[in-house]
Structures are given as C-alpha cells and as structure tokens.
C-alpha cells in the first residue's frame, strides 16, 4: 500500500495538472490583425481595426469562443509590403496566433502570403482585390472581399444604364490598381465599350494633373478611379480645376462617399461608387438588423460615419475567424484552416462561405460578397435612378 506521503504527492500533482488545464482552458484566443495603421492609407487601416474591435467586443459579450475570450493582437504594416511580411512573421512566431486577418492592400497581402504558407497559418483577407491572391495557389488564404473580376461582374448589369461608351482609367500603381484596370477593362470591352488611356500614380502622390491632362485628351465619357479615398479626393478636385467633364466611377469599395462629400465638395457631385456596405441604407443590406446594429455601435463609439465603408470589413473578418475557431473546437492553425471551409456565416456585407479558387490541390478560399452602386447627388449619398426605381 502507498504511504501517506505518496498519496499526498499524487494529490498535489493532480491538483497542479487540473489547475494548468483550467488556466489553459480560460486563456484568451489570440487572433492576429495586420493593417496599415500609419502611412498613406492609414485612415482605411484604422477603420478596419475599429470594426475588428467591435466584433471582438460583441463576441466577448456573448461569452467569447467556446467559453474563451477573444484577444486581438494588432500589427501595423505601415502601408508597406515588406512591413506586412514582417508583421505576419511576428504574429506567428512571437505571438503564436492561430489565424490572422489582413492586410488591406493587395501588395501587402501578397507580401505576407509566403509567411503564412511557410508556417502553416491561415489568413482571412478582408479588403485586397488582386486576382493573384487566390489564383497563386496558397491553401492558407481565405478572402471575403471580391477580387476585381468579381467586382467588375457586379457592375456589368449597369453599364448600359450608366451610359458608358468610352472609358479611361486612373489607378494607384499597385497590384490592386493594375488588377482593377485589367478586370474592368476586359469586362467593358466585352460590353462593346471603347477603352482609352490607362494612367497610374504612386500611392503617395498628391499631384495627378499630368495624368488628368492625358486623359482629358482622349475624348472619353467615363473615368474609372482605383485608389484610396485620400487620392480620390485630390483627383476630383484637380479634375474640377481642369474642367474635366467625365462621369466618374470609383472601384474597390474604399472611396467612402460621405468623406468625399466633406472633403471634395462639389467636385464629387454626380460621381458613382462601387461599395460593399451601404451604411446610409442599412435596411437594404442582406441582414438589415445586423447592419443597423453595426451602424449604431459605430456611432455609439464616436467613430466617424465615413469610416463605415471600411470598418465593416474588420467586423466580418474577425467574425469569420471566430466562427472557424468555434467550428474547429480549438485554436490550432491547421484545424482553423480546415474549419474555414465549413464556415457559413451572415456578415455585415452578407453571407460568408468559401468556394475553392486557384490551382488544384493548393486552392484558396473565395467568398462571394454583396456588391452595390451608389451615387453622390445634391450633396448626399443616394441610390442611382436605375436602382432606386426598383
């Protein structure tokens, strides 16, 4: 028979093991976030962060994930692809996150992707639209934002109603901008629209007059813009100064029409914008109740209204990761990756579920987001006539 000391030792060890298991069970689930919190597109990245924090708080208010609180570990990619890759490695190696959301710009996301594959950690892509992100062959990528091709197809039914006959392009010189010109150009050509000039600008550029002068000489009727809201504001003002009489359509869902009204004033009048969330008409979203709750919570926190067209992405990205961790039943990266294929969730944008995209055996996941068109008219964001009449 064991003596009393042996029994005591066994009891102490058992108690310590039980305490360790309890502590581990109660440890928060860390989710990584990579966004441009500084640099040229910092406003957009911070709006996404704000949306992610709302998702975190809503999840924790409901008990977290399988009884564990959610903790966001946020890294700034400084609007720089090299920093995005470094941020991904930090989150994986230093912070041991089982999954990441990021990284806003396509060039930043593409730079981070090799790290995800190297270490075997999944990432939900909340904003980036370059086709190569899901076509390249990275089985750790799951995108909830539309690639430019999908966005172009979303606009296709309205090309005739918009009256587009001859189009020019002005885009930021990144994977996002180049991809958008290719995707929208191909769609418009198929619709019989003449495609004219394709001009580029660097992400930090503030003077686009030279590009606008070239575009003015083409005789087109429509200008497609692909860049962040800061540059769109400058372009609209410079186009007004040059008396560039063009229909303007912004792509990528990042234009924040409300911000354009405030900052570009009359220069934004009449412009059209492809968006993925309509905070002006939350009841028109796929889940009007959820959309309204998000708009109300955003306002309650004192966040600027114009940030909502970016902020919803942060909410939907974190909600997607949380659902995958819940389905996996653990915060193991591979288990979370496998569970992402089973996600069937209603986000602020609409339904989120993934289809395979990319080379066989290395497919990425691609959801099919909701896509909308709005217009700035009389200093307000409205539905275009061809949509408002429905």
pLDDT of residue 133: 96
- C-alpha 152/C-alpha 129 separation (Å) is 11
Model confidence at 304: pLDDT above 90? yes
125 and 96: one domain? yes
213 and 325: one domain? no
User: Could you give the number of structural domains in the chain?
Assistant: 2
Model confidence at 3: pLDDT above 80? no
Model confidence at 19: pLDDT above 50? no
Q: What is this structure's pTM?
A: 0.88
- For residues 126 and 316, is the Cβ–Cβ distance under 8 A? yes
Would you place residue 386 in the very low, low, confident or very high pLDDT band (cuts 50, 70, 90)?
confident
Place of tokens 């961790």: 325
Q: Average of pLDDT values for 315-344?
A: 98
Does residue 1 fall inside a structural domain? no
65 and 38: one domain? yes
Q: What is the DSSP letter of 304?
A: -
Q: What is the DSSP letter of 266?
A: G
pLDDT of residue 26: 81
Q: What separation in angstroms does the CA of 335 have from each of 32, 76, 98, 354? A: 16, 27, 9, 16
pLDDT of residue 18: 45
Would you place residue 84 in the very low, low, confident or very high pLDDT band (cuts 50, 70, 90)?
very high
* CA-CA-CA-CA torsion sign (265, 268, 270, 276): negative
108 SS3 class: helix
94 and 120: one domain? yes
Domain of residue 165, residue span:
150-275
Does residue 384 fall inside a structural domain? no
Does residue 316 fall inside a structural domain? yes
Q: Average of pLDDT values for 17-45?
A: 80
Does residue 385 fall inside a structural domain? no
pLDDT digit string, tens, across residues 87-145? 999 999 999 999 999 999 999 999 999 999 999 999 999 999 999 999 999 999 999 99
Does residue 218 fall inside a structural domain? yes
Q: What contacts 315, CB < 8 A, 6 or more positions away?
A: 51, 52, 54, 55, 294, 347, 348
- C-alpha 31/C-alpha 95 separation (Å) is 9
CATH number assigned to the domain comprising residue 293: 3.40.50.2300
Model confidence at 185: pLDDT above 50? yes
Place of tokens 């217009």: 375
The last residue of a domain, from among 238, 254, 275 = 275
Model confidence at 369: pLDDT above 50? yes
Would you place residue 21 in the very low, low, confident or very high pLDDT band (cuts 50, 70, 90)?
very low
Q: Average of pLDDT values for 288-292?
A: 98
Residue 341: both structure tokens together = 């294929």
Q: pLDDT over 90 for what percent of the chain?
A: 89
Q: Average of pLDDT values for 234-245?
A: 96
Q: How confident is the prediction for the chain on average, in pLDDT?
A: 93
pLDDT of residue 4: 58
Q: Could you give the count of Cα atoms lying within 13 Å of 29 in the half-sphere of its Cβ?
A: 29
pLDDT of residue 255: 78
158 and 271: one domain? yes
Does residue 12 fall inside a structural domain? no
- C-alpha 72/C-alpha 31 separation (Å) is 5
Does residue 67 fall inside a structural domain? yes
Q: What contacts 128, CB < 8 A, 6 or more positions away?
A: 103, 104, 105, 106, 108, 109, 110, 143, 145, 176
pLDDT of residue 6: 59
pLDDT of residue 24: 46
pLDDT of residue 390: 47
160 and 258: one domain? yes
pLDDT of residue 20: 44
């Amino acid at each position: 028979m064991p003596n009393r000391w042996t029994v005591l030792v066994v009891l102490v060890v058992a108690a310590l093991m039980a305490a360790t298991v309890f502590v581990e069970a109660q440890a928060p689930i860390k989710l990584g976030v990579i966004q441009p919190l500084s640099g040229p597109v910092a406003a957009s990245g911070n709006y996404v962060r704000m949306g992610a924090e709302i998702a975190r708080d809503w999840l924790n208010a409901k008990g977290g994930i399988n009884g564990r609180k959610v903790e966001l570990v946020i890294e700034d990619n400084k609007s720089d692809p090299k920093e995005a890759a470094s941020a991904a490695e930090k989150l994986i190696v230093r912070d041991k996150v089982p999954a990441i959301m990021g990284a806003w710009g396509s060039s930043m996301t593409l730079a981070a992707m090799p790290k995800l594959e190297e270490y075997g950690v999944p990432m939900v892509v909340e904003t980036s639209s370059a086709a190569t992100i899901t076509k390249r062959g990275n089985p750790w990528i799951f995108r909830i934002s539309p690639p430019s091709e999908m966005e172009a197809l979303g606009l296709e039914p309205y090309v005739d109603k918009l009256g587009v006959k001859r189009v020019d392009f002005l885009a930021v010189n990144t994977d996002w901008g180049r991809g958008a010109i290719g995707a929208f150009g191909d769609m418009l050509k198929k619709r019989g629209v003449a495609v004219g000039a394709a001009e580029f600008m660097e992400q930090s550029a503030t003077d686009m007059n030279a590009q606008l002068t070239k575009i003015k000489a083409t005789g087109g009727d429509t200008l497609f813009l692909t860049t962040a809201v800061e540059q769109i504001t400058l372009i609209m003002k410079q186009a007004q100064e040059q008396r560039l009489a063009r229909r303007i359509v912004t792509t990528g869902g990042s234009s924040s029409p409300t911000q354009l009204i405030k900052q570009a004033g009359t220069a934004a009048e009449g412009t059209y914008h492809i968006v993925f969330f309509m905070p002006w008409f939350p009841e028109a979203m796929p889940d009007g109740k959820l959309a309204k709750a998000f708009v109300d919570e955003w306002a309650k926190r004192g966040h600027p209204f114009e940030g909502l067209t970016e902020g919803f992405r942060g909410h939907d990205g974190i909600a997607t990761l949380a659902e995958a961790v819940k389905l996996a039943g653990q915060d193991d990266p591979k288990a979370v990756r496998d569970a992402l294929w089973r996600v069937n969730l209603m986000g602020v944008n609409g339904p989120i579920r993934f289809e395979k995209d990319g080379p066989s055996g290395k497919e990425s996941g691609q959801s099919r987001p909701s896509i909308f068109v709005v217009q700035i008219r009389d200093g307000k964001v409205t539905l275009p006539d061809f949509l408002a009449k429905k």
